[in-house]
Structure 1
Amino acid sequence: MAKTLVIYYSRKGQNYVNGNIVDLPKGNTEIVAEFIQKAVGADLFEVETKKSYALDYTQCTIEAKEELRNNDRPELVKLLDSVAEYDHIVVAGPCWWGTYPVAVFTQLEALDFTGKKVFPIMTHEGSGMAGAPAALQKYCQGAVVGEGLAIQGAAAAGSEAKVTAWAKKNLA
């Protein structure tokens, strides 16, 4: 069986869900990452920024838009330095302004993806995959981008069967 790593960023606390701002004890992307781990025995690596985003959802979206506009690379709590032992790397995150949070790019730019297969996962509230596949083409040089999966954030907790089916089809 192929060895899989899930690199993910997830936001708990205030999130946009079905048109409302709600407080989530666990981020939607983390839930999806854990379903993949359970389905195929994947390792998990959470991307965490040293400087926290605003707790207020609206303010966080302003910060995220500014980071994207400035092409920022936030400093991370821990930087993964190699994916050499993995065959498949899943890159999972919420859709922020049409792509991953830029902290994900901080991590991806530090890695060598030559000969790897990468898979985009996007949690969203209506954007679908958005720019996730294109981002992996850009930031995972030398990798082949595989079939992605979009999960509506509001449906994340109930998406285990869908995520498991995708994981077994693509990662096993």
Structure 2
Amino acid sequence: MKVGGILIAVALAVTIVWAFVSYPRPAEFIQAVAPERILIAYYSQSGHTEAVAKAIQQETGGDLYRIRTNISYPKNAPAMQSQVKAEYNEGLRPPLAEPMPDMSRYDVVLLGFPNWYNAPPVGVFTFLEGTDWKGKTVVPFVTYGLSGWGSSIDDIREAAPNAAVAKGLAVHASQAGHCRKAVASWLDSLGLDAIQGGRNR
């Protein structure tokens, strides 16, 4: 019994270590890229994510693209949560209200969204699944009220399996309007701060 217990414990430890080693780690540093090769794509319902996106644009000089759909959401929080949960569980992929940008122009896409039902809004999945991500890097940022990233990073990896996914930034909704320092520090850590543009242009 003791030998059997030891073998089980060893097997479990090996499995945990292997899972840790084999799980894709975020890119810690992004190779220098000109501002015109940077896209800041974001979905924003209440303005919090948009505020962070604009702070990023000021730092990097990248292009802004707002992800929109024609779906309307109730203002009542429980009703909205119920609708969002149903959309996520159904795998809804609504058409975007505005044409996709020419993604061949960009090497780095900073992708922002609020955390809804512990995941990105369904319009973000439409954007991700409508792009060839080979050779591109996704740099996620999220705004949230309670639960940070939720399953968002795994969702991005699944929807854009050919993309490199860099270290993201999570901003509490209450801090979105004055996040410039946090954004600058995050971009500095990735090597994306003021690359041939942004605040130094």
Give TM-score, length-normalised by structure 2. Answer: 0.74
Distance 1:104 1:62 in 2: 18
Distance 1:66 1:132 in 2: 17
Contact 1:9/1:93 (CA < 8 Å) preserved in 2?
yes
1:31-87, CA deviations, whole angstroms, 9 ceiling, x for partnerless residues?
Answer: 000000000101111111113222333322221111011111122211315421112
Distance 1:28 1:72 in 2: 24
Work out whether 1:120 is the aligned partner of 2:140.
yes
The structure carrying a bigger strand percent of its residues is 1
Unaligned runs of 5+ in 2: 1-31, 196-201
Summarize the Cα distance change of 1:81–1:155 in structure 2 as closer, same or farther, 3 Å threshold: closer
Q: Tell me which residue corresponds to 1:7.
A: 41
Aligned residue among 55, 58, 68 for 2:78: 58
Q: How does 1:116-155 map to 2 (within 5 A)?
A: 116-155=136-175
Distance 1:131 1:143 in 2: 17
Distance 1:169 1:38 in 2: 17
Distance 1:76 1:55 in 2: 21
Paired positions, count? 158
Q: Tell me which residue corresponds to 1:91.
A: 111
Distance 1:40 1:168 in 2: 10
Q: After the TM superposition, which of the residue ranges 158-167 and 89-98 deviates more from structure 2?
A: 158-167
1:70-115, CA deviations, whole angstroms, 9 ceiling, x for partnerless residues?
Answer: 1111222113154211121111100001110011101111111100
Work out whether 1:100 is the aligned partner of 2:120.
yes
Distance 1:136 1:126 in 2: 20
Q: Tell me which residue corresponds to 1:49.
A: 69
Q: Give 1:132 deviation, angstroms.
A: 2.0
Contact 1:112/1:141 (CA < 8 Å) preserved in 2?
no
Work out whether 1:34 is the aligned partner of 2:54.
yes
Give 3-state SS (helix, strand or coil) of 2:100's partner: coil
Give 3-state SS (helix, strand or coil) of 1:99's partner: coil
Give 3-state SS (helix, strand or coil) of 1:118's partner: strand
Aligned-pair identity in percent equals 32
Q: Tell me which residue corresponds to 2:90.
A: 70
Give 3-state SS (helix, strand or coil) of 2:186's partner: helix
Distance 2:60 2:142 in 1: 19
Give 3-state SS (helix, strand or coil) of 1:150's partner: strand
Give 3-state SS (helix, strand or coil) of 2:103's partner: coil
Give TM-score, length-normalised by structure 1. Answer: 0.85
Contact 1:114/1:142 (CA < 8 Å) preserved in 2?
yes
The structure carrying a bigger helix percent of its residues is 2
Give the counterpart letter for 1:102 in structure 2: V
Unaligned runs of 5+ in 1: 13-26
